[in-house]
Structure 1
Amino acid sequence: MPAKKKDPGPSVKDPELYEKLRDEGNSKEKSARIANAAAAEGRSAVGERGGHAGDYEDRTVEELRERAAELDIEGRSSMSKSELIDALRNH
């Protein structure tokens, strides 16, 4: 019997999309942010927003550390480039 999905709470405005994003491996924060934006603006409007950022591989280690600092990723100062990229992608 599959495990029952946990209710994300009243702050999530589109629980169906939230659960889909969580099942894809996104963080709770990112899933809630996307689900709430989609509920407010419509799913197609949110989907059209992306695509303006360059690849992490094209950035310098310092640029990656700055982005990691914006997201408050712990241990960023001692991470290699590949570790920073992995941490940023999985935040």
Structure 2
Amino acid sequence: MPRSKHGPSIKDNETYEALRRDGASKEKAARIANAQAAEGEKTVGRRGGKAGSYEDWSVEKLRKRAGEIGIEGRSKMRKGELIDALRNH
């Protein structure tokens, strides 16, 4: 069961909990919740949808992006696995 208070690192507990219930990782939920608390929900919501579909990316670009966000085991992943890891990180 998730804790209702996550300490000072989480700025918006309600958003964090909702994202975790929806299956977001702890890191992703914290990143979104803190951005919303700092900048507002509408500002954060407008950011999405600017990148192209991962299916259109080369494996090399997918691996580079996975490295940027710290996904382990990326060098052995196939394209589909990389896409899944990036979407669910």
TM normalised by structure 2 equals 0.92
Cα deviation code 1:43-91 (max 9, x no counterpart): 1111011111111101010010000111121111111100111111111
If you compute each CA radius of gyration, which structure gives the higher value, 1 or 2?
1
Aligned pairs for 1:1-91 within 5 A = 3=1, 5-6=2-3, 7-91=5-89
Deviation at 1:11? 1.1
Deviation at 1:31? 0.7
The alignment covers a number of residue pairs equal to: 88
After TM superposition, the structure 1 stretch with the greater mean CA deviation from structure 2, 14-23 or 68-77, is 68-77
Deviation at 1:8? 1.9
Give the alignment's Cα RMSD to 1 decimal.
Answer: 1.0
Cα deviation code 1:24-43 (max 9, x no counterpart): 11111111111111111111
Unpaired segments of 5 or more residues in structure 1?
Answer: none
TM normalised by structure 1 equals 0.90
Unpaired segments of 5 or more residues in structure 2?
Answer: none
Q: What secondary structure, in the 3-state scheme, does the structure 2 residue paired with 1:66 have?
A: helix
